[in-house]
C-alpha cells in the first residue's frame, strides 16, 4: 500500500505569507510599489539604529547586519501594520468597535483620504516615535543581549 504525505507549511512560511499579504495591502492603500515600501522600511531601520546608538558606530553597524535584529524589526513593523494601521483603515463612520485587545473603543467619524492614510502610516513607523516607545525599547534591549 502506497501512502502519500502532504507537506506541512512551516511556521516561518506562514509568517512570511502573512507579512507579504500585509505588505501588499499597505502598498494598495498608500499606492506604493513594493520597492518604495521596502526602501521606506529600510530607511526607518537605519534611522532607528542611528538614534539608539548615536556615537557608537560599531554597535550600530553590528546590529545593522544582524539577522536577529532585522527579524525583530520586521516583526515589530508588521505588528504595527496589523494592530495600528490596517485595523483602522477603512473605518468611515463613528461608532463602537472592538479593538485588537478585545476592548470596546469609540471611533470618531472621519473622512479618510489618501493623505490621512499616508500621514498615519508615516507617524506609526517614525524613528522618533519608536525610539520613545517603552515596549519597543524593552524588546530592543533583549535583542541587544542576544546579539552581543
Report residue 92's pLDDT band, with 50, 70 and 90 as the boundaries.
Answer: very low
Looking at the domain assignment, is residue 128 inside a domain? yes
* pLDDT, average across residues 46-59: 94
Looking at the domain assignment, is residue 61 inside a domain? yes
Joined together, the cell numbers standing for residue 89 give: 483603515
Dihedrals φ, ψ of 129, to 5°? Answer: -65, -45
> Which domain, by its residues, includes 32?
11-147
Looking at the domain assignment, is residue 4 inside a domain? no
The pTM (predicted TM-score) of the whole model is: 0.78
Looking at the domain assignment, is residue 70 inside a domain? yes
DSSP notation for 74-105: HHHHHHHIIIIIITTTT--S-EEEE-TTS-EE
Looking at the domain assignment, is residue 6 inside a domain? no
Looking at the domain assignment, is residue 1 inside a domain? no
Q: What pLDDT is recorded for position 109?
A: 53
Looking at the domain assignment, is residue 23 inside a domain? yes
Count structural domains, the chain.
1
Amino acid at each position: 500500500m502506497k501512502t502519500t504525505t502532504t507537506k506541512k507549511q512551516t511556521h516561518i512560511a506562514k509568517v512570511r505569507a502573512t507579512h507579504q499579504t500585509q505588505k501588499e495591502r499597505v502598498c494598495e492603500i498608500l499606492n506604493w510599489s513594493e520597492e518604495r515600501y521596502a526602501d521606506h522600511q529600510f530607511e526607518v531601520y537605519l534611522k532607528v539604529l542611528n538614534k539608539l546608538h548615536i556615537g557608537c558606530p560599531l554597535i550600530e553597524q553590528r546590529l545593522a547586519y544582524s539577522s536577529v535584529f532585522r527579524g525583530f524589526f520586521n516583526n515589530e513593523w508588521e505588528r504595527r501594520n496589523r494592530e495600528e494601521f490596517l485595523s483602522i483603515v477603512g473605518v468611515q463612520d463613528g461608532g463602537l468597535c472592538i479593538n485588537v485587545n478585545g476592548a470596546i473603543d469609540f471611533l470618531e467619524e472621519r473622512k479618510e483620504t489618501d493623505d490621512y492614510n499616508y500621514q498615519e502610516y508615516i507617524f506609526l513607523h517614525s524613528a522618533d516615535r519608536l525610539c520613545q516607545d517603552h515596549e519597543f525599547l524593552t524588546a530592543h534591549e533583549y535583542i541587544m543581549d542576544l546579539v552581543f
